[in-house]
């Protein structure tokens, strides 16, 4: 039985719904320790004062904010504690919005909300009312002394909560110099039609079970083989410069591959799962598929990364 990481109530208007908060995701990565090559012993990390070379005790370490190069403002723990948001036990809903209005880039980490003792009826009422209205609740929650923006939405028969980034935490794409030439890079009508046909051919209902972290599986397989004493021969791969793509040729080849059923990509996976849409699907149905799949975007994305 998982342990609730927070308990309190959803508050909107004069309504309070007692709930408990549980993590909804568990990102999986392969973690490594640092070892000394000769002895195989695990490396210990030490906090050292570079000006003296002496190790610094944890109690003697303070927080400092760099205001100019090598000039810091020291902040004491009690000064930060005085600024901590009030540890409320409520998720204060400020407004209800359409799911399509939230760009998935704002989602951070996802949780499940379960009804606490005595809150089942109010929980079910809010869940069904939000589902009927097609709305997502935006509010604020304090978790571990940190106030966070959050979105509550129905997810099947449970209420899901996703913490969100604040507006100033998402960087504007206007800072990317590479986007300056997009206005002149206009596609022809024929190229656009073929690209839309390719999208329709690869359209499917989103099923996360079809996608596997192949890199993590290969790393775990390597670990098992080495643990069993197998010698691993690493063959370096020669890198070849890729030629400049011929856009029309690439579109035509991609469409031909999908239609012949010879592709090992997403289209074949969709075919095997029986969820492939017809290639004649309308543009609006493709957009609808995109909107429905965005519901899963708040669940925090797993990244395969071996950490040293």
Domain, as residue range, for 152:
6-25+83-169
Question: Is position 251 within any domain?
Answer: no
Question: Is position 78 within any domain?
Answer: no
Question: Is position 163 within any domain?
Answer: yes
Contact residues for 205 (Cβ-Cβ < 8 A; gap 6+): 270, 275, 277, 289
Q: How many domains does the chain have?
A: 1
Per-residue pLDDT in tens (0 to 9) along the chain, 308 residues: 788 888 888 988 777 889 999 988 887 888 888 898 999 899 988 899 999 999 999 889 999 999 999 899 999 888 887 887 776 788 989 999 999 999 999 999 999 999 999 899 999 999 999 999 999 999 999 888 788 999 999 999 999 999 999 999 998 888 888 788 887 888 889 888 888 888 898 888 989 889 888 888 988 998 898 898 888 888 777 666 666 667 788 888 888 888 887 545 444 444 444 444 443 433 333 344 333 334 444 443 333 333 33
Question: Is position 76 within any domain?
Answer: no
Question: Is position 250 within any domain?
Answer: no
Question: Is position 291 within any domain?
Answer: no
Residue 94 has phi, psi (to 5 degrees) of -105, -30
190: its two tokens: 């024929």
Question: Is position 228 within any domain?
Answer: no
pTM of the model: 0.64
Amino acid 287: pLDDT: 40
Question: Is position 254 within any domain?
Answer: no
103, 165, 174, 175, 213 from 179: Cα distances, Å? 20, 24, 8, 9, 31
Any idea what the CATH number is for the domain that residue 127 is in?
2.40.290.10
Q: Is 251 helix (H, G, I), strand (E, B) or coil?
A: helix
Amino acid 31: pLDDT: 87
């Amino acid at each position: 039985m998982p342990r609730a990481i927070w308990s309190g109530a959803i508050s909107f208007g004069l309504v309070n719904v007692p709930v408990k908060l549980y993590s909804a995701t568990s990102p999986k990565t392969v973690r490594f320790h640092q070892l000394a090559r000769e002895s195989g012993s695990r490396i210990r990390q030490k906090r050292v004062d570079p000006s003296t070379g002496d190790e610094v005790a944890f109690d003697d370490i303070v927080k400092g904010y760099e205001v100019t190069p090598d000039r810091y403002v020291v902040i004491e723990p009690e000064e930060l504690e005085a600024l901590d948001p009030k540890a409320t036990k409520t998720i204060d809903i400020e407004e209800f919005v359409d799911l399509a209005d939230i760009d998935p880039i704002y989602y951070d980490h996802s949780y499940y909300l379960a009804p606490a003792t005595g809150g089942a009826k109010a929980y079910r009422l809010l869940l069904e009312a939000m589902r009927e209205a097609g709305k997502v609740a935006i509010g604020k929650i304090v978790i571990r002394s940190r106030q966070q923006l959050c979105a509550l939405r129905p997810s099947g028969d449970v209420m899901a909560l996703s913490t969100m980034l604040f507006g100033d935490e998402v960087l504007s794409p206007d800072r990317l110099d590479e986007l300056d030439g997009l206005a002149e890079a206009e596609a022809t009508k024929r190229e656009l039609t073929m690209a839309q046909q390719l999208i329709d051919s690869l359209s499917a209902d989103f099923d996360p079970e079809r996608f596997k972290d192949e890199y993590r599986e290969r790393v775990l397989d390597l670990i098992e083989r080495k643990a069993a004493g197998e010698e691993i021969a690493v063959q370096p791969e020669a890198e070849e410069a890729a030629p400049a793509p011929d856009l029309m040729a690439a579109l035509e080849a991609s469409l031909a591959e999908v239609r012949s059923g010879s592709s090992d990509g997403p289209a074949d996976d969709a075919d095997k799962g029986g969820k492939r849409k017809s290639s004649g699907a309308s543009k609006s149905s493709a957009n609808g598929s995109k909107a429905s799949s965005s519901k899963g975007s708040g669940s925090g994305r797993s990244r395969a990364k071996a950490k040293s």
